[in-house]
Structure 1
Amino acid sequence: MVEIRHLKTMQALRDTGRLTDAAERLCVTQSALSHQIKELESRLGCELFLRKTRPLQLTGPGRRLLALAEQVLPLITGAEHDIQRMVHGDAGRLYMAIECHSCFNWLMPTIEAYRSNWPAVDLDFSSGFMFDPLPALHSGELDLVITSDPRDYKSLAYLPLFQYEMQIAVAPDHALAGQAFVSPGDLAQETIITYPVERQRLDVFNAFLNPAGVEPAAVRTTELTVMMIQQVANHRGVCALPNWVLDEYVRQGLVVALPATKAGHWLTLYAAVRAEQENTAYLQSFVQSARSHCLETLRGVRNG
């Protein structure tokens, strides 16, 4: 019943105090504005202002309608402003998750720097191990997923961040420590320590052991990278991690890192996004910031 134009009329009447001036402000004729007001008063069954007063005096219902205008019109203006920022890529939503669970140490600083540069972006992060994020990205629940395992979703685009080498970590005095590299068959009698996620989401299985038809002797899980390293150092198994993750622990003498195969096993880490959002400014900025930060700070990675 009450329309936005009616609310704007009430504000104009309040601000100008005269029907003629209100009509000029609203860019309508005085007769058109008078007709609009009479029509609204007819709908509401009451007068909105007292005629023949200078300046115009609002009635009780008129003041109530003015109060509504003061509440609603700023919200509409704000929404219009936000929509325009979204259209131009200055604002929006960026809900993200990771499949690379060793990425926390570079992802968190990237997120914090990004927040300060894009304060209008609603940013959130999900990190559950038992949560498969790519289907959630496909369905629109998420907006970006860090992954090294692209899957065949036609709705998704995979933007490369960097390349890294998957390496096998063993204790310094492990039987494999003196080898130049590790073959899949070398792990047939070993316990593999992994993050607690499905095998098809782990590089050591889907990119190394499974193609060779090799099954390890056992699998043990832990949620923390540092606990994984401690278990390897204590001869409770071996693990496969990116070279940039293992570099710190190798320098501390806790583990030895070996290439997976003679040529090394290089993988690409991607930022997966929905194809329809691929060129959005705030999303492209996050990807570029993450890529630059990683190439500058992570040892052993290379441009993807």
Structure 2
Amino acid sequence: MSNAVFDTRHLLAFSALARLGSFTQAAQELFLTQSAVSHAIKALEEQVGCRLFERAGRSVSLTHAGEQLQRSVEKILAEMRAARSGLDELSRWGHGRLRLGASTTACQYILPTVLREFKQSFPKCVISIDPGDHARQTELLLNNRIDLALMLEPETTKELAFVPLFTDEMRYLVSPTHSWARAGHVQRDTFASETLILYNQTSYTFRLVKEYFQTEGVPLANFLELGSMDAIKELVKIGLGVGVLAPWVAKGEIASGALVSLPLGRRKLRRRWGVAYHKGRRLSLGEETFVGLCQTVTTDFSA
């Protein structure tokens, strides 16, 4: 017997003929000519090296080898039908999967609204979220472990495509009782005595802030670093330091007057947010919808 893989068309012809016992009926079921069915059976018998049917006039019956093969063929065809059914299910509206990556900030301030809207259109879509910093999201995308990443723009990776959403500006956030808030501007003569409260020292944002201050000739020495935006805001509110954050993560607090936003300096520190994915991939309908919802939700986030 040859080690070659069976031709699916031959197996379908074999299955139909074994069930119906007639070349005519098998041909009608498969929408083929009788000669096409006969050719498929002959090719299959040549491949397995033995006769599969006994022919008696217009009717046929399985040989012992044919009976043994039939059990295997029916299992194979059943698996193929199940696979096709599963794929058809995924292609229906609202089904499928969406593997997302996002920074902790995006998980907290962007994703909840986006996913609430997304679920209305794709109620049966299975969603997984892998939170992590900038470097982790890049790694996950390059290793095909996530489909989309809501993140800051990748620096140099040519393998990733990037759909821009908005550009923000890092600013000082202070308590309304802080001397800078009362003065309405940053008092440079008191800067050295201030404690800056920054986001996670291992993050891409921390590196951007550090490089900004170095370029401005200001040593970044007296600072605290935390892994939670909410924790940073709370410490700033009680006057334990000056936060360096994007205003959109504190929109409610700024609007209520609980925090005051001030510029870092004449030169702005801007970041560009967007959705990244592996270049060359064609986005599914669900993925395109997710990107569109991200664009809608973040419309007023730009600085």
TM range (shorter): 0.7 to 0.9
Counterpart of 1:12 in structure 2 is 16
Q: Which consecutive unaligned segments of at least 5 residues does structure 1 have?
A: none
Do structure 1's residue 71 and structure 2's residue 78 form an aligned pair?
yes
CA–CA separation in structure 1 for the residues paired with 2:189 and 2:274: 29
Q: How does 1:276-295 map to 2 (within 5 A)?
A: 276-277=280-281, 281-295=285-299
> What is the CA-CA distance between 1:64 and the residue it aligns to?
0.2
Contact 2:170–2:244 (8 Å) recurs in 1: yes
Supply the distance in 1 between the matched residues of 2:190 and 2:16 (Cα, whole angstroms).
81
Evaluate the alpha carbon distance shift between residue 149 and residue 28 of structure 1 in structure 2; reply closer, same or farther with a 3 A threshold. closer
8 Å CA contact 1:193–1:222 kept in 2: the answer is yes
Return the alpha-carbon distance in structure 2 between the equivalents of residues 10 and 250 of structure 1: 74
In the alignment, what sits opposite 2:301?
A: 301
Deviation at 1:5, TM superposition (A): 1.6
TM-score by length of 2: 0.75
Q: Is the 8 A contact 2:151 2:274 kept in 1?
A: yes
Deviations 1:159-198 (A, max 9, x none): 2212334331122322322243448886544333233252
Q: CA deviation at 1:145?
A: 2.5
Structure 2: distance between partners of 1:245 and 1:46: 74
* 2-structure distance, mates of 1:283, 1:258: 37
Q: Corresponding residue for 2:68?
A: 61
* 1:117 aligned onto 2:121: yes
Superposed CA deviations along residues 226-278 of structure 1, whole A, max 9, x for unmatched, are 22212222333221222122121234554322233358655432222333237
**Superposition deviation, residue 4 in structure 1:** 1.2
> How far apart are residue 97 of structure 1 and its match?
2.1
Report Cα offsets for 1:189-242 as digits up to 9, x if no partner.
Answer: 433323325254337615742331323333323332222212222333221222
Total equivalences in the alignment: 295
Query: CA–CA distance in 1 between the matches of 2:170 and 2:201?
Result: 17
Q: Name the stretch that deviates more: 118-127 or 233-242.
A: 118-127
Deviations 1:85-137 (A, max 9, x none): 6xxxx987643323462552321231243244346866432113485322443
In the alignment, what sits opposite 2:209? 205
**Change over 3 Å in CA distance of 1:43–1:266 after alignment to 2:** closer
Instruction: Give the aligned partner of residue 149 of structure 2.
Output: 145
Taking the aligned partners of 1:261 and 1:148, their CA distance within structure 2 comes to 22
Taking a change above 3 Å as real, the CA distance of residues 194 and 255 of structure 1, as seen in their structure-2 partners, is same
1:228 to 232, 249, 252: 232
Check if 1:158 corresponds to 2:168. no
The alignment status of 1:126 with 2:130, answered yes or no, reads yes
TM-score by length of 1: 0.75
Q: How far apart are the structure 1 equivalents of 2:230 and 2:277?
A: 30
C-alpha distance 184-265 of structure 1, shift in aligned 2 (>3 A)? farther
CA shift in 2, pair 1:277/1:196, >3 Å: same
Letter matched to residue 231 of structure 1: L
